[in-house]
A and B are shown apart, each in its own frame.
Chain A
Amino acid sequence: MGWIGDTVDSIKSIQIRQLLTQAVSLGMIVTSALIIWKALMCITGSESPVVVVLSGSMEPGFKRGDILFLHMNKEPIRAGEIVVFNVDGREIPIVHRVIKVHERQDGEVDILTKGDNNYGDDRLLYAQGQLWLQRHHIMGRAVGFLPYVGWVTIIMTEKPIIKYILIGALGLLVITSKD
C-alpha cells in the first residue's frame, strides 16, 4: 500500500508547488505594474503621470479616449500650455489650455484656462467665486499623446460588468493554466 501513499503525496506536493508558482507569477504581474507606475510618478513628478481624456472639450486635439502623458516640474507655467488641474469641490481633474497668465515677482501665479472646443473660458467650471487658478491647483502639463488607448479604461469604468468578466476570465486562466 506504500506506493499509493507515495503517489498521493507526490501529486499533492506538485499541486502545492504549482499553486505557489502561479501565486508568485500573479504577484509578479501586480508588483511589476505597481513598480512601473511608481517609477513613472518619480520620473515625471506628477501624481498621476498618465491620464485619460473623458470629455470632448479639447477637440479636435484630444478626443475622448485619448491618453495624455503628464510632466510636472518647477518651470513656470506659460500661456498656451495644456495643463491638468484640480478644482476644489470637483473630483475629476480637467485638461484645458492656459490662455492668461499673471505672474508676480515672488513667483506666485494666476492662471486662466479654456478648452479649445468651448466657447467661453473656464471660470464657470471653477469653484464659486474663483477667478484664477494658482500653482497648487495644477497637477501637471501634457507633454505627450497617444490616441484611442484610453478607451479600455473608459469602457471598464462605465460598464463594470465587462471589468468583472475580464478579471474573472484572467483569474480562471491563471488558476487553470498548467505551465
Chain B
Amino acid sequence: MPTADSQLILACVVVYLASCAVVGFWAMRRTSSTVDFFLAGKSLGPLVVVMATISSVMSGFGFVGGPGLVYESGTSSLWMVFVASFSLPVAFMLTGKRLRLLVEVRPILTLPEAVAARYGGSGPAIAMSVAIVLGVLGYLGTQVLAIGTVLQAVLGIDLLAALAVGLGVLAFYAIAGGIVAGVYTDLFQGLLMLGAAVAVLAQCLKVGGGMSAITETLWAMDPDYIGPWGTRGDLAAMSWMLLFGIGAAGQPHAITKLMMLKDIRQLKWSALATGLSYLVLAMLWMGIGLAMRTLVARGDHPALENPDLAAPTFLLHYTPELLAGIVFAGLLAAIMSTADSFLNLGAAAVVRDIPLALRGKPLEHELMWSRIATGSLLLLSALFALYMENLIALLGTFGWGTFAAAIVPSICIGMNWKRATGTACVASIATSIALNFVLEVAARHGHQLLPPGLAVGAVALLASTSVFVWVSLLTPKRELAPDMDALLDV
C-alpha cells in the first residue's frame, strides 16, 4: 500500500480514532447488562440500524477489495454489490419481523438462541454456534490484518506498532461499550461515507473524462471488461448474484442488527433505506475501480502491482486531500465496525450460546465474561493474522459463503415454515461447512472441482437449501411451543 504523507489525511484518521475512544467511553456508561452488550438494549432507532447494517456488511473488503476486483476484472464484481438494492430488503422480509418479535417473547440475544427456540434440542444451536465461530475467526483475522495495513500506510509505522494502535482503540470500545459503541460509530461513519462516496464518484468521472470516455477507453482495451459480466465471465457474475443476492439474508452481523430495533414497526421503510444506502456506497466500489483501470489503460498511470492498491492509489493521487482523508478514516471505520460486530458475535457464541446449549443455563457474571471473551478473541485473531496468514485467508474467503449457506435455510426458511425440523437444520449447516471448506481447500491446492467462475459459496447455498427442505420433509415433525407456533403465523 502506498504511504500517505499528508498531514490532513493523518489528522482525519487521528480525529476518527479519538472519536472512537470517546464513543467507547460514552457507550461503556450505557452498557450495564448482556442485553446492552449484545443487543444494544433493543433501543436503536431506524437510522442507526440502517447505518450499522450497511457499515458492517461493507467492511474493509468493500472499500479496498471491491475497487480492486473492478480494476482486475471489470464489471464482474458489480453483481456482488448492485444486488444490494433487493438483497437487503429480502433479508428484512425473511428475518426482520419474526426475529424482532421473538426477542419480545423470549430472553434471546443471539442467532443460535433463536435457532434453539425454533427447533428445540441442543444440536441446531451447537451447529449454528460452530458455523458462526468458524466464520467469525476468518472474518476477524482479515479485518485485523486490514486495520494494521491501513494504519501502517497512514501513520508510516511498522505493522506491529500499527496493530497495537488500531487494536488498542478497537479493544477499548468493543470491550467497554460492546455493540452500543459499534453501532454509534457506524452511524457517524455511515453518514460520512455516503457523502464521500458521491464525491468520490464525481471525482472518478472527472478524472476519467466522463462515463462515455471511460467506456470507450475500456471497450478498446477489452470489450468484455466493460460488458455486463466482466472478464470473469457470465458464470461468475450469475453465481455472485445468487450468493450475494440471497446470501445477504444469512449474514449474522447484518440480521442481528434487526433484533436491536427499539420499535418493530420501524422495519417498515428501513428495508428500502438499507438497500438504497448500500447502493450509494457501491458507487465508490465501481467508480474507483473503473477510473483507475482507465488511467492505466491510457498510460496516464503505471500498472498497479496489486489490484488491491486501486483504492489507496486513486485516493492518494487523484482526489483532494480532505476527501482522501475522510475516505481513509471511513475505510478504517468500516474495517473496525465489521471487526466489532464479529467480536460481539464471537463472544456471544463462546460465552452464551455454547454454554447455554451444553449446560442449559448461561454463565454467571455473563457481562464480565463477555468482555473477557471479546478481548481474548481480539488477541487470538491478531496472533492468527500475524502468524497464520494462510489459514486466515482461507477462513476469510469461506466466511460469507458459510454464513449464507448455514443461515439462509435454517433461519430464513425455518422461521417461515413450520414443517422445518432440527435435523434438517443440523444437516444443512453441516453441508454448508463441509462444502465450503472442501471446495475452497481443493481450489487452493489446484484441484478445480467446479467449472471456472462458479462461486463455491453459491454451490454450498444451493446444496444446503435443497438438503434443508428434503430432510425436513423426510424427518418427523416436532410440535412447536405455543409462542413459536403463533410467531410463525403472525
A binds B: no
